[in-house]
């Protein structure tokens, strides 16, 4: 596909966003905190009342076959809705699909004289239902926003027909099943948000070779780590927090170097040492690997990340010295190392708050600092130093491979 074509789709999608969806657009440059928020869904008790619809299409009224297809798809969808407490779909009646709440039409990019359904925005509708196969008829869609509803079931395979889809936000619903592989066949998809669902199993390696700008998969039940062979990824924001990946962060993380700015891996059961390749991610602004089982020292290469603003290593089993090179990073705003086993802070690292940097070093083994771990716990940890060259992490090689012991091999 010619790049001018995909860029015209991109422009089209953004114009649409600005015109209609600005209030609900998930800001790609969302700051760390907001990147993994749940949305503000009001989870009402669901009164499961099946609506019966008897809309007979006055065929002659729709002369545009694309809008006719859209009519069929949207009526099928309305029939697949059990509960719509905010009445979003009450006016989904009759042939004027462009007037339906949450449905946005725009001129077709290939033939601007005709109108097509280009966007669906049902964010925060609290609708219970499922996605019917007929959604494949909405083949001109550029945007689907379904944040904070109660849609359940699996993602239909017919979505492969949505060859112009640019943004897919299914976040905060009740979708289940393996990673919806149909997504990988969508040639123009740039923004993928599946967070807060119940997807499970391994991530397909192809996910990392797609030209995505942002990938949000946090708060699901995914189990396998990033594959050891990535190819070059284009994602700027990757949020995988609160899954059950296990395994180590592979050196292939370096394949994200030309794009990655925010990398959120908090609470993903990561093991082993941080690879020094993390320091190759020269565009990083936010790195969060907190609440894992990472061992070993802070890779000194992180001191080369000139754009780094937030570094969160809290609640791991890391040890050794906190290098001054990181504490003097020019853009550092917040550095958190609490709940580890660090035993020394170099130079200015002892007094970072005096530079106006948020810094938390509680519950380590820093002899000069308050609120540290007990001497007994620290001595026990020091008896088992970690040799990162010796530490092999089998789980990164293949998806779902054997899980290594959570405890590092002790130095002999
Ligand atoms: C939705 O429509 C029903 C029936 O017309 C009405 O009773 C209810 O108050 C409406 N709910 C909202 C949130 O407007
Ligand atoms: C659709 O909405 C437009 C603008 O609000 C209105 O002029 C038009 O009559 C509506 N069409 C139908 C069939 O309701
Ligand atoms: C795919 O879209 C075309 C229209 O662009 C339609 O004719 C066809 O039935 C759709 N296929 C599926 C599986 O929905
Ligand atoms: C970590 O993720 C699990 C689900 O995988 C969740 O139950 C738990 O609350 C999370 N812990 C934290 C500290 O966020
Ligand atoms: C610094 O980051 C930690 C961990 O993300 C967070 O809990 C804390 O609120 C942040 N501090 C400031 C001042 O932003
Ligand atoms: C930290 O820095 C401030 C300002 O530079 C200084 O006044 C203070 O004595 C320092 N504290 C320590 C413990 O070095």
Q: Return the pLDDT at 319.
A: 92
Q: Which residues contact 270 (CB under 8 A, 6 or more apart)?
A: 225, 245, 246, 247, 248, 249, 289, 292, 293, 294
Ligand 5 center–CA 336 separation, angstroms: 7
DSSP-derived letter for residue 404 is: P
Mutating to test ligand 5, I would choose from 36, 262, 266, 336 the residue with most ligand atoms within 8 A of its C-beta, which is 336
Report the nearest atom of ligand 5 relative to the CA of 334.
Answer: 1
Q: How many CB atoms lie within 10 A of CB 178?
A: 13
Q: Return the pLDDT at 77.
A: 97
Sequential DSSP letters for 352-379: GGGGT-EEE--SS--TTSSSPPPHHHHH
Ligand 5 center–CA 60 separation, angstroms: 60
Residues in the chain: 412
Ligand 4: which residue has its CA nearest to atom 6? 242
Pocket of ligand 6 contains residue 354 by CB under 6 Å: yes
How remote is the C-alpha of 317 from its chain's centroid? 25
Protein residues whose CB sits closer than 6 Å to any atom of ligand 1: 86-87
Q: Return the pLDDT at 229.
A: 64
Ligand 6: which residue has its CA nearest to atom 11? 351
The ligand that comes nearest to the alpha carbon of residue 264 is 5
Q: Give the chain's domains with CATH numbers.
A: 1-23+50-201 (3.80.10.10), 210-407 (3.80.10.10)
Q: Return the pLDDT at 205.
A: 84
Q: What is the largest CA-CA distance in the chain?
A: 83
Sequential DSSP letters for 250-293: PGGGGGGTTT--EEE-TTS--EEEPPGGGGG-TT-SEEE--SSE
**Which residue, among 370, 301, 375, 366, has the nearest Cα to 340 in the 3D structure?**
366
How remote is the C-alpha of 332 from its chain's centroid? 24
Mutating to test ligand 2, I would choose from 93, 95, 99, 104 the residue with most ligand atoms within 8 A of its C-beta, which is 99
Sequential DSSP letters for 22-58: TTT---TT--HHHHT-------PPP--------PPP-
Mutating to test ligand 2, I would choose from 91, 96, 101, 103 the residue with most ligand atoms within 8 A of its C-beta, which is 96
Q: The tokens of 372 are what? A: 């540290």
Ligand 1 center–CA 85 separation, angstroms: 7
Ligand 6 center–CA 399 separation, angstroms: 49
Ligand 4 center–CA 14 separation, angstroms: 35
**Which residue, among 155, 229, 129, 171, has the nearest Cα to 34 in the 3D structure?**
171
Ligand 2 center–CA 96 separation, angstroms: 8
Protein residues whose CB sits closer than 6 Å to any atom of ligand 4: 242, 244, 267, 291
Q: Which residues contact 187 (CB under 8 A, 6 or more apart)?
A: 1, 6, 163
Instruction: Provide the residue-wise pLDDT of the chain in tens; the chain has 412 residues.
Output: 333 334 444 555 554 544 444 333 333 333 333 344 444 332 222 222 233 334 444 444 557 888 999 999 999 999 999 999 999 999 999 999 999 999 999 998 888 888 999 999 999 999 999 999 999 999 999 999 999 999 999 999 999 999 999 999 999 999 999 999 999 999 999 999 999 999 999 988 888 888 888 999 999 999 986 666 666 778 899 899 999 888 888 888 888 888 899 999 999 999 889 999 999 999 999 999 999 999 999 999 999 999 999 999 999 999 999 999 999 999 999 999 999 999 999 889 988 888 899 999 999 998 888 998 888 888 888 887 787 877 666 544 333 333 333 344 333 3
The ligand that comes nearest to the alpha carbon of residue 269 is 4
The ligand that comes nearest to the alpha carbon of residue 270 is 4
């Amino acid at each position: 596909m010619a790049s001018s074509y995909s860029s015209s789709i991109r422009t089209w999608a953004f114009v649409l966003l600005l015109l209609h969806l600005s209030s609900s657009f998930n800001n790609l440059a969302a700051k760390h905190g907001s990147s993994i928020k749940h949305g503000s869904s009001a989870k009402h008790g669901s009164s499961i009342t099946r609506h019966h619809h008897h809309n007979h299409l006055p065929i002659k009224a729709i002369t545009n076959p694309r809008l006719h297809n859209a009519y069929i798809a949207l009526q099928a969808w309305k029939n697949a809705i059990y509960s719509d407490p905010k009445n979003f779909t009450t006016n989904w009646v009759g042939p004027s699909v462009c007037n339906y709440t949450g449905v946005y039409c725009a001129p077709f990019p290939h033939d601007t004289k005709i109108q097509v359904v280009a966007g669906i925005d049902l964010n925060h509708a609290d609708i219970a239902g499922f996605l019917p196969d007929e959604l494949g008829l909405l083949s001109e869609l550029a945007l689907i926003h379904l944040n904070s509803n109660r849609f359940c079931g699996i993602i239909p395979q017919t979505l492969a027909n949505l060859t112009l889809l640019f943004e897919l936000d299914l976040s905060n619903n009740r979708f289940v099943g393996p990673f919806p592989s149909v997504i990988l066949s969508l040639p123009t998809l740039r923004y993928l948000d599946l967070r807060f669902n119940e997807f499970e199993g391994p991530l397909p390696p192809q996910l990392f070779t797609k030209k995505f700008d942002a990938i949000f998969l946090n708060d699901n039940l995914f189990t396998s780590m990033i594959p050891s062979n990535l190819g070059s990824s284009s994602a700027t924001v990757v949020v995988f927090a609160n899954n059950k990946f296990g395994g180590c962060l592979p050196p292939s993380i370096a394949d994200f170097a030309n794009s990655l700015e925010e990398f959120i891996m908090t609470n993903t059961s990561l093991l082993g040492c941080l690879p020094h390749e993390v320091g190759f991610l020269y565009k990083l602004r936010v790195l969060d690997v907190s609440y894992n089982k990472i061992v070993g020292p802070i890779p000194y290469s992180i001191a080369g990340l000139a754009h780094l603003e937030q570094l969160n290593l809290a609640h791991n089993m890391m040890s050794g010295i906190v290098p001054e090179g990181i504490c003097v990073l020019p853009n550092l705003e917040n550095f958190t190392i609490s709940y580890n086993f660090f035993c020394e802070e170099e130079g200015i690292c002892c007094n970072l708050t005096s530079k106006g940097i948020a810094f938390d070093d509680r519950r380590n083994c820093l002899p000069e600092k308050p609120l540290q771990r007990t001497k007994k716990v620290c001595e026990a940890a020091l008896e088992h130093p970690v040799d990162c060259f010796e530490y092999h992490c089998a789980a990164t090689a293949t998806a779902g491979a054997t899980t290594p012991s959570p405890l590092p091999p002790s130095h002999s």
